[in-house]
Amino acid sequence: MIVTSAQATEKISSLNEVQAITEMVHLSFSNCPDERTKFLFKNLIDHLHNFVRETSLTHEEWLASINFLDRFRQEDHYIMVLSDIFGVSTLVDMVSNKKPLNATENTILGPLYTENTQILKNGDSIASEGKGDYFYMSGRILDVQGNPIAGAIMDVWEADQHGVYDIEYPDYNDKPDCRGRFTTGEDGVFAFRAVKPLAYPFTDNGPAKDLLDALHSTKYRPAHLHFKIVAPDYMELVTQLYFKDDQYLEIDTAFAVRQSLIVDPKLITDTSITLARGFKEAKPHHELERDFVLVREQDLIKPTPKA
């Protein structure tokens, strides 16, 4: 229904000023042709305006918030970091999850994914020598029935032994390290060498750090590996694997840990296996075998209709 200015004036005339501003904003959006968009913005405005009323937000407090966001845009550039530390990224994943129980759970992408990566074959290393303790991972990419998926493209990326990602180094120069891309064959198998991840500070400078300091909140992410997997006719999977006994599993500043994504690698002390897998030095390494299960649209669990 198209709302005219006369109808808007008549509707808000009976409201007090504090209530009227909310109604005026709703009316200004009421001609939006897409019902879902209109629904989302109506609820967004309701929550924002209720927050202002319930907290008696001052002009100085609101201006400080705007200045913080502007500083964030100028200094950090990764606005998704705010979504992560407020738990919104994880919450969106949780409320939209309709996967079968045997499917691999999604979790956050994080701000340090990039399309610039190394194109590798099974058994290759995503990390150059000296980036950390040796780590070997293998597994399969499967559908929910347990069948291998051929032609799946798997991106893997991680921080090095200093908790730093390649693109964070000043001398990066578009030379990817600790990241790689693999494509599965008919058997759905993948295997790669890497370094064992370590926990690291979520941020050590800038506005995000200042915010976490002001709130006396944890600034650490537990050790993890990132994965992004795509395959024809399947839904994209963005996920992470976390390591058992990490001290930050329960206080992850991004709230992204899931029990189903916690793994327990084995220590391989037979150095002949280390060398056979292509590592340069004869020293122990950690080993992990883990499959990933993708879903098609038709695999999703349909919501139960409301009475």
**CB-based burial label for 177 (10 Å; 0-12, 13-18, 19+):** buried
DSSP per residue over 223-250, as a string? -EEEEEEE-TTS--EEEEEEETT-TTGG
Helix, strand, coil share (%) of the chain residues, nearest 5:
35, 20, 50
Contact between 102 and 76 under an 8 Å Cβ cutoff? The reply is no
252/53 Cα distance (integer angstroms)? 32
Helix axes 5-12, 17-29, angle to 10 degrees: 160
φ and ψ of 201, to 5 deg:
-65, 135
Query: For every one of its 307 residues, what pLDDT tens digit does the chain have, with 9 covering 90 and above?
Result: 455 555 555 554 555 777 888 999 999 998 999 999 999 999 999 999 999 999 999 999 999 999 988 888 788 667 788 888 899 988 988 888 789 999 999 999 988 999 999 999 999 999 999 999 999 999 999 999 999 999 999 999 999 999 999 999 999 989 999 999 999 999 999 999 999 999 998 877 788 888 888 888 888 999 999 999 999 999 999 999 999 999 999 999 999 999 999 999 999 999 999 999 999 999 999 999 999 999 999 998 876 544 4
CA distance 104 to 262: 12
Which class for 127: exposed (0-12), middle (13-18), buried (19 or more C-beta within 10 A)? buried
pTM metric for this prediction: 0.85
For residues 26 and 20, what is the distance between their CA atoms, to the nearest angstrom? 10
Reduced to 3 states, what is the DSSP secondary structure of residue 166?
A: helix
Query: Three-class SS of residue 135?
Result: strand
Which domains occur in the chain, in start order? 5-57 (no CATH), 93-298 (2.60.130.10)
